[in-house]
Every structure is written in C-alpha cells, then in structure tokens.
Amino acid sequence: MGLVHRRRVIFFGVWTCYAAGATLASQPSASDLIAGQIVSIDHEAGKITLQHAPIPYLHLSAGTSTFRYVEAKWLIGRRPGDRVRFQADRIDMSLRMTALFYIPG
C-alpha cells in the first residue's frame, strides 16, 4: 500500500467519522428542551395544553398539543400564559410531558 493510498484511506475514515458525528449531534432528542406557553391546565385529568415549537422527534409541527404530566408539583404556581421550556415523549401511545421549567418574565 503506497503512502498516497494510505493518506486517502485515513482521510476518508476521519471524514466519515466526522460526518456521522455531525449528523447524530444535529438530531433532536427527548432530552432537548422545547419552548412553549401554557394554554390550559386540567388538574383533575392530569393534563396540560401547551402551545409549542416544532418537536421533530415526536413528529409534531409547531402548534398546540395536550400532554399528560408526570409530576403535579411542576404546575404549582403555573397558570395559562406562562412561558416554559419542557421535555416530552410518547409513552404508551400518549404524549407525556416529562419535565417542565418556568421562564420568568
């Protein structure tokens, strides 16, 4: 194997790893925070309706969606109109809010 061929193989290997890493890093995941605003909260049903940015990994475009929430304590002091960042996932075929962070202001 000649020196030029070896360099090409090494370059191709490094470039392939870089390209694969860049692709993986740009894919949104369930651990990403999504910008949203509270539309309504139904404590009895355990649901919250949020107006949100696109959620590509859940195949949801920007809009309004209703999520079941895991922890009621996240909603203490929250009311419609509050801006939030949240995490969501699809569990047992239903949308679940898995974390909620309030944005003051």
> How many Cβ atoms sit within 10 Å of the Cβ of residue 60?
16
| Interval 21-31: pLDDT, tens | 544 444 556 67
Average pLDDT, the chain: 82
Question: Residue 34 and residue 73: Cα distance in Å, rounded?
Answer: 19
| Interval 68-87: pLDDT, tens | 998 999 999 999 999 999 99
Measure CA 85 to chain center: 10
- Going by C-alpha positions, the residue among 70, 56, 65 that lies closest to residue 38 is 65
Tokens of 92: 């047992």
